[in-house]
Each structure stands twice: as C-alpha cells, then as structure tokens.
Amino acid sequence: MIERADRVPHLKTLAALADGLGISLSEMFAGVGEHTKNRSTALLPLIKLLERLSLGENEVGALLAIVKAMYKAR
C-alpha cells in the first residue's frame, strides 16, 4: 500500500526499507521534492498571471483547450 501512496509508513517501516536496500534513511530521501520545487518555481509567473486575470469558466475552458492543443503539437 505504501507504493500506491494509500498509507504513510511509520518511521520504523521506512528504516527497515532503507536497511533492506542497504542505504541510510537520508539517502532514501535524497532529492525528494527538488524536481517539484523547480517545476513549481518555473510555473509561478503563469500562476500569478492567471490569478490576476480572474477568468470565467468559459475562458478557463478555452485556455485549457489551447494548452492541450499546443502540448499535442509538440
């Protein structure tokens, strides 16, 4: 269930997993959140712009359609 993120493991469970892998707990979590942090930072200007625009439901739908079309074109 841990692998599906259905439950948060206890510290003893995490220690046992790290021990079974032959690594320390700090090694097991090295780099966790870095990708998300960098990604979130890159999105901040877009998020701030969207917050200022106060788009309506139709406008949000249209914007989503445009972004999806751009993503497919890549």
What is the Cα–Cα distance from 35 to 26, expressed in whole angstroms? 17
pLDDT single digits (tens) 17-67:
888 888 888 888 777 766 666 666 777 788 788 888 888 888 888 888 898
**Residue owning tokens 């780099």:** 31
pLDDT at 1 over 60: no
Q: Cα-atom radius of gyration of the chain, to the nearest Å?
A: 20
Closest CA to 14 of 6, 25, 27: 25
By the 8 A CB rule, do 18 and 24 touch?
Answer: yes
- Torsion (CA) 57, 41, 9, 19 in degrees, nearest 10: 150
pTM assigned to the model: 0.41
